[in-house]
Amino acid sequence: MLIAVMMFSFMDTTMKLLSATYPATQVTALRALSSLPLLCAYIWYRGAFRGIFNVRWGMHVFRAVLGIAMLTTFAYGLKALSLAEAYSIFFIAPALITMLSVFVLKERVVAGQWVAIVVGLVGVLVVLRPEGSGFLTLGGLAILAAAACYAVSAITARLLARTDSTESMMFWLLTLMAIGAVALAWPMWVPVRAADGATLLALALSGFFGQLAITKAFSTGKASIVAPFEYTALAWGVAIDRLLWQALPDGYTLLGAGIIIASGIYLVRRESAHKESEHP
């Protein structure tokens, strides 16, 4: 999980760099297109292309739409926000997933979890500035929208995992995202510069290896132990912001991030404990 977070932090850095030159929808298209050849080679190596078309198409299309919306809004938000600020807001995703699980998966959420969800939302407000100067910024709201899309996608993935293989989920997510994002970006497509070749290579490698690492983490480790390591992204965000853009998060960002992280860790561990009590 630590490797996955590191890889995704590098991936987000390349997306932030690319978003300065290309439209957000094109950055999403480049993200999907760049990693797709590596993913196809991996699936072929594992011999997992068999049955790749025997899937629940409606759910895969819906998940791809969510993926396009998530990456596009995230790329747009990165234009205005530092990585640390973006990660702090995005950390609300576990709370949103818990809330959605009540309505979609019919899971039971106890009072303590609802309190943690509310606390997490308060943390987001702190990051977005309590005095109001940052609350209505498009960048902050875009990251919040990305977190919402990620939460819905995570619920959809849980439903898909009941019938479809991990390889088919990864393949169709990237493939359908590539098709949809290219179609959306085409009217405003900016010719890709040769100077961005190294950045695109870094995007492809970091996205692919990050996906492999996170899949391995959750398939071999307990969610309550693995998931909290996602929050190490904040450390990477602060370090990269300082190294590349000479920026450091302010007190509001760090305070809000601490509140959101605390609520997220509680929710992850509470959910795991609940599942263990049901299946001792």
Q: Give the residue among 163, 147, 162, 170 at the shortest CA–CA distance from 97.
A: 147
Tokens at 106, concatenated: 């019919």
pLDDT confidence tier of residue 273, bands split at 50, 70 and 90: low
Which pLDDT score is estimated for 39? 95
Task: Give per-residue pLDDT as tens, 119-152.
Answer: 999 998 888 875 555 555 889 899 999 999 999 9
CA dihedral 125, 106, 222, 277 (to 10 degrees): 120
Question: Of residues 79 and 128, which shows the higher confidence score?
Answer: 79
In angstroms, the Cα distances linking 276 to 13, 30, 98, 253, 280 are 37, 41, 17, 34, 5
Asked whether the CA dihedral 30, 212, 158, 86 is positive or negative, the reply is: negative
pTM given for the model: 0.89
Confidence of residue 193 (pLDDT cuts 50, 70, 90): very high
* Residue with more model confidence, 196 or 223: 196
Confidence (pLDDT) at 219: 77
Contact criterion met (CB below 8 Å) for 14 and 208: no
Region 250-267: mean pLDDT is 90
Predicted local distance difference test score (pLDDT) of residue 278: 55
pLDDT at residue 130, as a whole number: 58
Mean model confidence pLDDT for the chain? 89
- Residue 265 CA to residue 245 CA, distance in Å, equals 30
Name every residue whose Cβ is closer than 8 Å to that of residue 109 and which is 6 or more positions away in sequence: 98, 99, 101, 102
By the 8 A CB rule, do 265 and 40 touch? no
DSSP 162: T
* pLDDT tens sequence across 12-51: 999 999 999 999 999 999 999 999 999 999 999 999 898 8
pLDDT in tens, 107-118: 777 888 889 989
Rounded-to-integer distance, Cα 242 and Cα 209, Å = 24
* Separation of alpha carbons 113 and 164, rounded Å: 30
List the single range of 72-81, 84-93, 127-136, 178-187 with lowest mean pLDDT. 127-136
Question: pLDDT class for 272, splitting at 50, 70, 90?
Answer: low
Q: What is the pLDDT of residues 203-244, one digit of tens each?
A: 999 999 998 998 888 878 776 678 888 899 999 999 999 999
**Average pLDDT for 260-271:** 86
The mean pLDDT of 273-277, rounded to a whole number, is 59
